[in-house]
Structure 1
Amino acid sequence: MTTAPTPVPTPAATELSGGAGASGTATPVPRRRTVKLRGGSWLATVPLFAFFAISFGLPAIAIAIGAFTLSSDAETGAGTFTTQNVTDSVQGAYWTSLLSSVKLSALTALIGTVLGLPIAQAVVTSRFRAVREAVLSASGVLANFGGLPLAFAFVATLGNAGEITKLFHLTDHGWSLYSFTGLTIVYLYFLVPLMVLSITPALDGLRVQWREAAHNNRATTLQYWRHVALPILFPSLLGGYVLLFGSAFAAYATAAAMVGATVPLISRSIADALSGNVLVGQGNLALALSLDMIVVAVVVMAVYLPLQRRSARWLS
């Protein structure tokens, strides 16, 4: 009777068997240690923080210091601490211009949000890819079309001697482009496309299963939007509203070319204070008015950020 030879374990077999020794216990295979640089991820953000500090931090500090400084020597630029600039910026005509800017921005942002949402929804649900690309491309162009070209386009069409004004005799019905109402319509020209661009990604994040579940529970389309879609989209809608508000609040060239001083705006008041159209040496007052704009923007962002985190959890 012949005895079969005992097989000799090869290195490959030993590796596959876990490196079992004579005692039957598995010998752990040593793993390579990888050294991770914990500070490496932060190094990539250094250029961003440096750009942010130079572009936003230093100007903000300069505005804050200048707003509380009273220039006493025009040659040396020396000044003393005062709250007079900030006090004057919230009184009289300056306070009126600040309220008018807030009113105009809030109204145009609200209308732009209401009009931009159904347009964006129609684009998202469209079965034609060409329509989606065309609308989004046009929105990207129109959202950045402002300033003097936009003012000239509306003056030529809806001004006192504009083509549409003469064709439909709008002046006989009390129409005036150079008013608060006319400026509102002009602002909507670039705010509605901006809303379409900002809300489209959120609409893409709405899952089809949510609509199907609502329909399976006999919910109508109106009930789906009221109880499911709009509560989820509300933070994104608010974010788009904040974006539109900031864009309208900071707009200057379009209003300056169209209405001038007819409609009081904070941006026009800052320009007048810097150029000395009203009083000479009001540069620090202009900085105080700029500080008021920053405070308004911070308050609006403080409302938006907590809601944006809530929306991100649903749409992620």
Structure 2
Amino acid sequence: MTAASSEIATAAAAAGVGTTRFRRRWAGWLGFTPFALYVLLFLAIPTVYAVASGFFTDAGTFTIANLAAFANPTIVGDFVSSFWVSAVVAVLGAVIGAVICFALLAANPAGALRTVVDSASSVLAQFGGIMLAFAFIALIGIQGVVTVFLKQTLGFDLNASNGPLLYQVSGLVFPYLYFSIPLMVITFMPALEGLKQQWGEAAATLGASRMTYWWRVAFPILSPAFWGSTILLFANAFSSFATAAALIDQGGIVPLAIKQQLTSETIVGVSNTAGVLALGMIVVMVIVMTAYSALQRRARRWQR
């Protein structure tokens, strides 16, 4: 009788544990539902619709003839401009951000300086759009503070060569760096902090100089994280739209070309060109983010 009662109690306990696990799992999925709906409604569906529209004519017939837009010189020029602007921003932002991170290594992680820099980087990395465009118009616009100062004191005109610098594709480098450098600080600082003191001590014990340690040990370890962050900066600049739209009326980069195709009655010879451009952007972003994920996995090997 005692053995039977024990078996019943064990079975009841197992059933209770199974019920608890089921409830926790159900609660977890229920909590994930709002985020899943957000991704579905505001990311997945618009992306699929934008890309799919490039494979249909205005009459709704499926076609791949729209891909001929990629051979148009204007479209090719927009992609080239987007690539070189994003590359310049990524390289400059990565180098400047890495130097800032290196300088912050000597600061107390819980001190006031690190707290202020981390907080400011988190905010400024998300700062863009109309407000950022207005700030740079007031700074280096035609009558901006820096523009007037350089012209009156040094006789140097920022807008003397090819017109207003800020309103050209090359001028986008300045506002893009504004949010790219803080993003580099956020993403690269954990990698620098992951360098273990024992590695430096071991290198010094073996007779390596400080420069040798950084060149032969630290840099190879940090390179995946550095290039991964650089790729992230490239992707961020490549997909940015609001700041560029506030500064440049016409196309010049791919996001603005998509806007122009959606708002203008003129097209480049095929229908639904905006969808074709969106397809090109997504292909580029998939390649870039795949490379970023691979580098992040390699960088995490040293954080274990």
Question: Is the shorter-chain TM-score for this pair beyond 0.5, marking a shared fold?
Answer: yes
Report the counterpart of residue 182 of structure 2 in structure 1. 193
Q: Which residue of structure 1 aligns with residue 68 of structure 2? A: 87
Structure 1 length normalisation: TM-score? Answer: 0.79
Q: In structure 2, how many angstroms separate the alpha carbons of the residues matched to 1:114 and 1:145? A: 20
| Displacement of 1:183 | 1.8
Per the alignment, residue 266 of structure 2 pairs with: 278
Distance 1:188 1:124 in 2: 22
Pair 1:66-2:47 in alignment = no
Q: In 2 relative to 1, CA 41–290 (structure 1 residues): closer, same or farther, beyond 3 Å? A: farther
Indicate how the Cα distance of structure 1 residues 165 and 135 shifts in structure 2: closer, same or farther if over 3 A, else same. Answer: same
**Among 280, 283, 289, which residue is 1:292 paired with?**
280
Give the structure 1 partner of residue 165 of structure 2: 176
Measured on the aligned residues, the alpha-carbon RMSD in Å equals 2.8
Q: Distance in 2 between matches of 1:60 and 1:71?
A: 19
Compare relative contact order (CA 8 Å, sep 6+) and give the higher one, 1 or 2: 2
How far apart, CA to CA, are the structure 1 residues paired with 2:177 and 2:114?
A: 21
Shift of residue 51 of structure 1? Answer: 4.3
Percent identical pairs in the alignment equals: 37
| Alpha carbons 2:140, 2:166 under 8 Å: kept | yes
What is the aligned counterpart of 1:160 among 142, 151, 154?
142
Q: Contact 1:155 / 1:177 at 8 angstroms: preserved in 2?
A: yes
**Structure 2: any 5+ residue segments left out of the alignment?**
1-8
Matched, 1:269 2:257: yes
Query: Aligned pair 1:250/2:232, yes or no?
Result: no
Give yes or no for contact 1:274–1:283 (8 Å, CA) kept in 2: no
Q: How do 1:1-316 and structure 2 match up within 5 A? A: 34=14, 35-36=17-18, 43=26, 44-45=28-29, 47=33, 48-72=35-59, 79-127=60-108, 129-169=111-151, 170-171=156-157, 174=161, 176-261=165-250, 264-276=252-264, 278-279=266-267, 284-316=272-304
Aligned residue type for 2:294: P
Report the CA distance between 1:195 and its aligned residue. Answer: 0.6
- Verify the 8 A CA contact 1:124 1:132 in the aligned structure 2: no
SS at match of 2:252: coil
Deviation at 1:265, TM superposition (A): 0.6
1:70 counterpart SS class: coil
CA–CA separation in structure 2 for the residues paired with 1:130 and 1:84? 59
CA apart distance, 1:307? 2.4
Closer/same/farther in 2, CA of residues 59 and 256 from structure 1, 3 Å limit: closer
Q: TM-score, normalised by structure 2?
A: 0.82
Q: Which runs of 5+ in 1 are unaligned?
A: 1-29, 73-78
Letter in 1 for 2:257: S
CA deviation after TM superposition for structure 1 residue 309, in Å:
1.4
Is the 1:252–1:267 Cα contact (8 Å) retained in structure 2? yes
Number of aligned residues: 280
Residue pair 1:160, 1:171 contacting (<8 A) in 2 also:
no
Higher radius of gyration, 1 or 2: 1
Cα shift at 1:157: 1.7
Structure with more helix by fraction:
2
Q: Aligned-pair distance for 1:250?
A: 1.4
Question: Residue 57 of structure 2 aligns to a residue in which SS?
Answer: strand
Q: Is the contact made by 2:261 and 2:267 (CA closer than 8 Å) also made in structure 1?
A: yes
- Gap change, CA 1:242 and 1:42, over 3 Å in 2: farther
CA distance in 2, matches of 1:91, 1:251: 23
